[in-house]
Amino acid sequence: MPVQTNKKIAIIGAGISGLASAVRLAKAGFEVDVFEKAGNVGGKMNEIHHKGYRFDTGPSLFTLPELLTELYDLCETPANKRLKVLKPEISCRYFYPDTTVINAWQEPEKFAHEVEAKTGEPAIHVLRFLKHSQKLYELTAPLFIFQPLVSLKTLCSRNALKVLMHLHLLSPLQQMAGKNRKWFRSPKVQQLFNRFATYNGSNPYKAPATLNIIPHLEHNLGAYFASGGMYRVAQSLYQLAKDQGARFTFNTAVERIQLTNNGASALIVNGQSTHYDAVVSDVDVFTLYKHLLPRVKMPARYKKRELSSSALIFYWGINRPFPQLDLHNILFAKAYREEFTAIFENKTIHPDPTVYIYISAKENALDAPANCENWFVMINAPHNAGQNWPALREKARKHVVNKINQSLNVSIEDHIVFEEYLDPVRIEAKTNSYRGALYGPGSNSKMAAFLRHPNTTHRIKNLYFTGGSVHPGGGVPLCMASAKIVAHQLTKTLRKS
């Protein structure tokens, strides 16, 4: 059992960061109240059920599962109550316009030889790149992922010195796509590794080559599948937090964070003020300042940042199996650079989009009726800037259908028996993500890693920021890392007081 304290903590939002924060803080002995405006936990990680079909609505890939294991270990969770995590043989199947298909085997050497066989790119080039990606991760993760970046202690640490000594390896002044042209001869292989910029909503033709750390997570450490689907991760964290004593209030929007002497002192909920010793926000940071801290201006250096991309997602119940598809599939665009120009510069969707298809029923048969499949079909999209989304969505749907038909030699509309969708407008409405941007600010600038909103600010005491829109960034593992940083900082501060 946790050691009880007399300190009360409020957490706003029950997304992955809010849940992981609740686990850690409740385990540390604090009295934890979590307020969530929706009727369930998960935030962007959610699910849809319809007549035997189940869909994960948000994150579909699970990397760094050891961060979840760490929480189980912290709480001494017995093995039979831990979520099972599987490692499929293939992390992704890539389809190119010229009918080339590449299986990204989870064994790096097997993957490298697959690439060589399909593209002519020497396997040694792929293996050298993956070694480079590993080195980048090992250099940067201790500083940029698992520590509060703005901390003087962090910036003066041995890890910081190590990064400075190897800054040339990070290539922060080079664009990711440009750097990958030097690594690989084959445009197909360049495209395959350029796509990892989209994992934090960025443009590989503008984002720094430092983002080449991302392939390490998938190709070296491994891409995993949560047994029962990704939403089980959120449900497991929810149960773990409750087991530690955290209390949850759903269908309740926090109206305002009350400040006293430049410090967060209370929450206004249903018109009532309740005192808390500290507040943790798992709300998109742009939304937080605008609605919950209306008298505090968001610093211009964060407010003026370019936003990340968003997504247009179709959830399709399909009435037949497609054995040529795997758990994760990418149907690549022919004009990849033009696709990102459309998204980030023209704020629209290119007529030949790259299509991602996630079919959890490939690993969890219960997610679809017998001989059927549940398709999560996603394309990258611009954030909401006032576009005519009904018209844009309908046009994009036609392009997606055409792409699938051409790639799979099928008339896919003949097999869709259920459809739901999520676009930037709905993403903003459902998750409070500012303008529907999935990852808050993007990483299309050389100093992007240093310009994310920190987890604390000297301007407001006892207020902590977590989640995908702040340091260290978006995605399930980074959100869990964010919660770890915040829990450590908060515990250290309140234990001193």
Terminal C-alpha separation, the chain: 23
Tokens coding 418: 């259920």
The SS3 of residue 378 is strand
Chain centroid to CA 69:
18
pLDDT value at residue 449: 61
CA 333 → CA 56, 91, 115, 190, 192, distances in Å?
24, 20, 18, 13, 11
Identify which of 172-176, 400-404, 490-494 has the greatest average pLDDT: 400-404
pLDDT value at residue 350: 97
Q: What is the mean pLDDT of the segment spanning 462-485? A: 95
pLDDT tens figures, 290-334: 999 989 998 887 888 889 999 999 999 999 999 999 999 999 999
DSSP per residue over 22-66, as a string? Answer: HHHHHHTT-EEEEE-SSSSSBTTS-EEEETTEEEE-S---B--TH
pLDDT tens figures, 212-271: 999 999 999 999 999 999 999 999 999 999 999 999 999 999 999 999 999 999 999 999
Q: Please check the confidence at residue 126 and state whether its pLDDT lies above 50.
A: yes
162 vs 197, which has greater pLDDT? 197
pLDDT value at residue 1: 43
DSSP per residue over 310-377, as a string? Answer: EEEEEEEEESS--TT--SEEEE--SSHHHHHHHHHTS-S--SS--EEEE-GGGT-GGGS-TT-EEEEE
Q: Please check the confidence at residue 209 and state whether its pLDDT lies above 70.
A: yes
Distance from C-alpha of 75 to C-alpha of 78, rounded to nearest angstrom: 9
Distance from C-alpha of 223 to C-alpha of 214, rounded to nearest angstrom: 12
pLDDT value at residue 248: 98
Tokens coding 12: 């706003």
Beta bridge partners of 9: 32, 278
Q: What is the mean pLDDT of the segment spanning 171-177? A: 84
- pLDDT category of residue 444 using cuts at 50, 70 and 90: confident
The SS3 of residue 201 is coil
Q: Please check the confidence at residue 155 and state whether its pLDDT lies above 60.
A: no
Q: Among 36-40, 108-112, 236-240, 443-447, which is the least confidently predicted range?
A: 443-447
Which pTM value belongs to this model? Answer: 0.94
Q: What is the mean pLDDT of the segment spanning 63-72? A: 97
- pLDDT category of residue 148 using cuts at 50, 70 and 90: confident
Q: Please check the confidence at residue 447 and state whether its pLDDT lies above 70.
A: no
Pick from 379, 303, 276: which is nearest to 336 by CA?
Answer: 379
The SS3 of residue 8 is strand
Going along the chain from its start, the domains and CATH numbers come out as 8-42+63-80+228-305+455-496 (3.50.50.60), 125-221 (no CATH)
Distance from C-alpha of 24 to C-alpha of 241, rounded to nearest angstrom: 8
Distance from C-alpha of 36 to C-alpha of 241, rounded to nearest angstrom: 14
Q: Please check the confidence at residue 153 and state whether its pLDDT lies above 60.
A: no
What letters, b where the CB count within 10 A reaches 16 and e where it falls short, cover 331-361?
bbbeebeebbbbbbeeebbbbbbbbbbbbbb
Q: What is the mean pLDDT of the segment spanning 105-110? A: 98
Q: What is the mean pLDDT of the chain?
A: 93
